[in-house]
């Protein structure tokens, strides 16, 4: 359950100075995406607008076909809108060339996928470094940063392991560390707990909570209410439009944390019997 509050205003208040206004990780205005299939036009996004301030934690939800993946592809610079704007920093992705999109995608967006998408032949540290490899930045400083990130997600004792030697939850931790290596505008996670059991889901959501507490901006797509309740805000799409934009109260977030921890404690207890 969430209480409904408008989380953004369309026009900036004249009483707030530029210095006081929160910086935006991204700003989306009247975003439209149409796909042309033979003679048919599919209007996957039909004028979506919202802002994501730095430090926000947004869950995107909606029924199948509502436009979540389409929005995620645009946020991840994997595709360009038909019209409207999507600002990353001061850059509008609608105006970028394909090369510029690829550049910003590899340098400034941190991806976490449901299926982890790790390279099987590489170790934990090497997988974390992959986004740096595309930039030709592979010195000792970058190696140190990758080790620190592995430690940050609790894999300090698994640095030389390969994905096949790790559990699903550990592989997702590697993916989270990899998503942070470039200091991204935001972490973009597509059903990050979709393949995980409740115990591991709780571990991953706790890492997201901690990263967000440290100021990281997180945008995730989920079908699960209990995952969405952990976010600060839930954006719901319906038929390609923004249907609702609700703030989760601290009480709702805390209750979701407690419920999940109790479920985990019960499962652990049962497993020990
Ligand atoms: N590449 C494409 N070509 C044509 N139509 C597409 C394409 N991608 C998505 N669509 C259509 O756009 C609409 C929105 O699809 P999208 O995948 O964004 O929805 P979704 O909310 O992510 O759904 P799901 O939860 O099932 O993954 C759907 O009608 C879909 O069939």
- Tens digit of pLDDT at every position of the chain (273 positions): 444 444 444 455 556 666 666 689 999 999 999 999 888 999 999 999 999 999 999 999 999 999 999 999 999 999 999 999 999 988 899 999 999 999 898 888 999 999 999 999 999 999 999 988 877 767 788 899 999 999 999 999 999 999 999 999 999 999 999 999 988 999 999 999 998 888 899 999 999 999 999 999 999 999 999 999 999 999 999 999 999 999 999 999 999 989 888 888 887 778 765
Give residue 263's pLDDT.
84
Ligand 1 atom 26: residue of nearest CA: 64
Q: Is 68 in the pocket of ligand 1 (CB under 6 A)?
A: yes
Centroid of ligand 1 to alpha carbon of 137 (angstroms): 36
Give residue 12's pLDDT.
53
Tokens 């700003």 — which residue?
27
Q: Is 236 in the pocket of ligand 1 (CB under 6 A)?
A: no
Ligand 1 atom 1: residue of nearest CA: 35
Asked casually if ipTM beats, i.e. exceeds, 0.95, the reply is: yes
CA dihedral 245, 27, 152, 131 (to 10 degrees): 130
Q: Is 119 in the pocket of ligand 1 (CB under 6 A)?
A: no
Is 159 exposed, middle or buried (CB count within 10 Å of its CB: 0-12, 13-18, 19+)?
middle
Q: Which of 32, 39, 41, 44, when mutated, tests ligand 1's pocket best, judged by the most ligand atoms within 8 Å of its CB?
A: 44
Give residue 273's pLDDT.
55
Give residue 1's pLDDT.
40
Total number of residues shown for the chain:
273
Tokens 């940063």 — which residue?
145
Specify which residues 45 forms β-bridges with.
33
Ligand 1 atom 12: residue of nearest CA: 44
Instruction: Indicate the pTM of the whole model.
Output: 0.88
In order of their start, the domains of the chain are 53-83+96-272 (3.40.50.300)
Give residue 261's pLDDT.
83
Q: Is 38 in the pocket of ligand 1 (CB under 6 A)?
A: no
Q: Is 44 in the pocket of ligand 1 (CB under 6 A)?
A: yes
Ligand 1 atom 18: residue of nearest CA: 67
Q: Is 70 in the pocket of ligand 1 (CB under 6 A)?
A: yes
Q: Is 32 in the pocket of ligand 1 (CB under 6 A)?
A: no
In the 3-class helix/strand/coil scheme, how is the chain assigned residue by residue? Answer: CCECCCCCCCCCCCCCCCCCCCCEEEEEEEEEEEEEECCEEEEEEEEEEEEEECCCEEEEECCCCCCHHHHHHHHCCCCCCCEEEEEECCEEHHHCCHHHHHHHHHHHEEEEECCCCCCCCCCHHHHHHHHHHCCCCCCHHHHHHHHHHHHHCCCCCCCCCCHHHCCHHHHHHHHHHHHHCCCCCEEEEECCCCCCCHHHHHHHHHHHHHHHHCCCCEEEECCCHHHHCCCCEEEEEECCEEEEEEECCHHHHHHHHHHHHHHHHHHHHHHHC
């Amino acid at each position: 359950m969430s209480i409904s509050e408008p989380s953004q205003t369309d026009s900036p208040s004249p009483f707030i100075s530029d210095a006081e206004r929160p910086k935006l990780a991204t700003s989306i205005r009247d975003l439209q995406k149409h796909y042309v299939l033979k003679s048919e036009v599919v209007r996957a996004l039909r004028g979506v607008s919202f802002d994501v301030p730095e430090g926000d934690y947004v869950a995107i939800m909606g029924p199948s076909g509502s436009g979540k993946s389409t929005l995620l592809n645009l946020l991840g610079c994997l595709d360009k809108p038909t019209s409207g704007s999507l600002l990353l920093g001061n850059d509008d992705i609608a105006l970028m060339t394909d090369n510029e999109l690829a550049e910003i995608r590899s340098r400034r967006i941190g991806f976490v996928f449901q299926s982890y998408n790790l390279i099987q032949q590489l170790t934990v540290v090497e997988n974390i470094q992959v986004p740096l490899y595309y930039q030709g930045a592979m010195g000792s400083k970058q190696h140190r940063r990758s080790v620190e990130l592995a430690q940050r997600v609790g894999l300090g004792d698994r640095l030389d392991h390969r994905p096949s030697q790790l559990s699903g939850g550990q592989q997702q931790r590697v993916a989270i560390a990899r998503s942070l290596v470039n200091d991204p505008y935001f972490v973009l996670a597509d059903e990050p707990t979709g393949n995980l059991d409740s115990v591991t889901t709780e571990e991953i959501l706790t890492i997201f909570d901690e990263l967000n507490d440290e100021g990281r901006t997180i945008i995730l797509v989920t079908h699960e209410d209990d995952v969405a309740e952990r976010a600060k805000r839930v954006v719901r799409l319906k038929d390609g439009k923004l249907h609702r934009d609700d703030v989760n109260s601290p009480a709702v977030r805390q209750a979701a944390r407690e419920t999940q921890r109790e479920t985990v404690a019960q499962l652990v207890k049962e497993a020990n019997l």
